[in-house]
Amino acid sequence: MTQLPLPVTLNDSASFANFVAGKNREALTAVKDGTQQLIYLWGAPAAGKTHLLQASCQQAAEQGLQAAYLPLADISGLATAILDDLDQLALICLDDVHAAVGHAEWERALFHLYNRVRASGARLFMSANAAPAALPIALPDLASRLSWGLVLQIHPLQDADKLTALQQRARNRGIDLPDEVARFLLARSARDLPGLFEFLQRLDLASLAAQRKLTIPLVRQLLHRAPGTDEPAHLS
């Protein structure tokens, strides 16, 4: 895990190399090329926003630049002071900004961070579950700031792209995942990528324990068992 200037760690598997773009090629190019100072990504959960933000921080670290990734999904355990001085870094990535909307102190802190970033030249990438205009922001100046830079929607992957991502993840783990097994898994397991990746890990462990190759019967057997138990998983 890569340690950042904040008490948050990155997922090492989040890189640009293993991001399957689908309809999100413009967003991938924007966050990767480093020419945009302000980027706001929005879309449904598990569409790839977090992956892009974390991959941006990974790339910055590889380039010897200081970067910070901060998830705001649960702001109850955070103080707004955590945003202080972030503008001194090369890149700041704030995930789930919508969670801070409606909290006056956080809205003011984000507004002031935007202003400091514009002055310092740092890059600020943010994500949320809706476009800036659709967020119930109480502070009008913050609403305008969120639309200052590049605003892009992140679209969920189509099934063909999910298959590509699933088999790419399998190859990275050294797993032989035949086409027919991947299609069977996609049709009957969780449809979102995090769920599919989590099940692939369970499937890999089960195949190692049983000393069996990944086959449709093995997938079917595991689909009907809850993790770590003999109870039905009700995933099919």
- Domain ranges in the chain are 2-154, 159-223
Q: What is the pTM of this model?
A: 0.78
Residue 8 confidence (pLDDT)? 60
User: For 56-183, where are the E strands, in sequence order?
Assistant: 67-71, 91-95, 123-128, 150-154
Same fold across 2-154 and 159-223 = no
Residue segments in the chain with a per-residue pLDDT below the cut of 70: 1-10, 12, 189-191, 225-236
- CA distances 83 to 70, 93, 99, 207, Å, are 9, 11, 15, 45
The arrangement of secondary structure in 2-154, i.e. its CATH architecture, is 3-Layer(aba) Sandwich (3.40)
Sequence-separated (6 or more) residues with CB below 8 Å from residue 150:
30, 36, 38, 39, 40
* pLDDT value, residue 64: 95
- Least Cα distance to 220 among 181, 165, 177 occurs for 181
pLDDT of amino acid 190: 65
pLDDT value at position 124? 98
CATH 1.10.8.60 assigned to domain 159-223? The reply is yes
User: In angstroms, rounded to a whole number, what is the distance separating the alpha carbons of residues 20 and 211?
Assistant: 31
The crossing angle, in degrees rounded to 10, of helices 49-62 and 25-33 is: 30
pLDDT of residue 230: 38
Map tokens 């200037």 to a residue: 5
Determine the pLDDT at residue 3. 37
Structure tokens belonging to residue 132: 């800036």
